[in-house]
Amino acid sequence: MKPNLLFLLAACLSVPITASAQQVVFRHEASLSGTLAGVPFGPTQVVLRGVGDLANRQPFSNGFLLMHNSATVDIAGVGAFDFVSPTLSFVNQAQQLVGFSRGNLGGLDFLDGPFDASLANWDMLSAIGPLTGPGGSINWDLGDIVTSGGVLDVFSANVTVTFGSSPCVSAGLAYCLGDGSSAQCPCAGFGNAGEGCLNSSGSGGARLVGSGDPCYAIDSFQFALSGVPDGKPGILLMAGSQVANPMADGIRCVGGSMLRSQVQLTVGGGTLFTDFSGQPFGAVALVGAPSNFQFLYRDVANTCSGQGFNYSGGWTVTYQP
């Protein structure tokens, strides 16, 4: 396959990296053969995933490129490794082509493709894909590509490539609150703005707030829970549907098929949830569709229903690849 000659843009790669809160994930996938640390592999499925900052997107004559802040390679049957050598993703709008390239050696391409007509106007600022089509792996033999598992080399070949990209834009938003803006709290026990229904903490209701980047490749998304009586057992709930039904001493905000975290005790009136790529939630449950969360906890000291449990407000977020 003819290389994309991205090395002509070497001068662009000297632009300094600046900070931004908006990140984007690029995913390039193909069946490749090559060597890692001198050990042959393949043909086997290889996934290249790069994470970059949209503030660092750089134009060139035929499109845009973006240096990765971090990048990984996942080789089926071998393992997943971090790139040590700098890397980038690019779109060549003139050729209607995307690719994964070395960030050094003048930006020589590593995996090109697919070619797709929709790439003629894609500027990296919006989600796209997955796109699948013809492409090629390229062995330039001009220097090592170093990963945490050793030097990675791929053999030049025409291959079918799948590509997708998703900006991590929003950490989600609150819904179904016990502050009077949603359903009525049992016994009119309202919390403060942004909280669940009144509990025995003495400060109002429980507040659940998401933050970070809800992208699986970045995995910095987390929940902070506050306003819960200290030392109370509770679980984080996740479901695909939203409801607003008064229940026990609060409002049930999640419905349908549900996943539950392990029981946790609140500490200092709250707790922190940080793992949304492992069990029980996992990437399969999260990626691509809105996921709705809520904290359910015991509180027998302030119960008008006699059931002794309450809820935080709800939080909805769409996790990206």
DSSP bridge pairs for 72: 49, 82
Question: Which domains, ranges and CATH numbers included, belong to the chain?
Answer: 6-168 (no CATH), 173-317 (2.60.40)
Residues 6+ apart with CB under 8 A from 82: 70, 71, 72, 147, 148
What CA–CA distances, in Å, run from 175 to 182, 213, 281, 295? 8, 19, 20, 13
Q: What pLDDT score does 116 carry? A: 96
Which pTM value belongs to this model?
0.61
The identity of residue 67, as a single letter, is M
pLDDT values of the chain reduced to their tens digit, one per residue, 321 residues: 333 333 222 223 333 333 345 788 898 999 999 999 999 999 999 999 898 989 999 999 899 999 999 999 999 999 989 999 999 999 999 999 999 998 865 667 889 999 999 999 999 998 888 899 999 998 876 778 999 999 999 999 999 999 988 877 678 899 999 999 988 999 889 999 999 999 998 889 999 998 877 776 666 778 889 999 988 899 999 998 999 999 999 999 999 888 888 888 888 777 777 666 555 565 445 566 788 999 999 998 877 878 899 999 999 998 776
SS3 at position 117: helix
Q: What is the DSSP string of 248-288?
A: TTEEEEEEEEEEEPPPEE-BTTBEEE---SSTTTHHHHHBT
What CA–CA distances, in Å, run from 140 to 1, 31, 107, 262? 12, 18, 11, 49
Q: What token pair was written down for 255?
A: 């419905």
Q: What token pair was written down for 90?
A: 């690019």
Q: What token pair was written down for 158?
A: 């025409």
Q: What pLDDT score does 191 carry? A: 93
SS3 at position 301: coil
Q: What token pair was written down for 287?
A: 């990626």
In this structure, what is the dihedral angle of CA atoms 293, 176, 171, 287, given to the nearest 10 degrees? 40
Q: What pLDDT score does 279 carry? A: 56
Backbone angles phi, psi at 186, to 5 degrees: -55, 140
What is the 8-class DSSP label of residue 229?
A: -
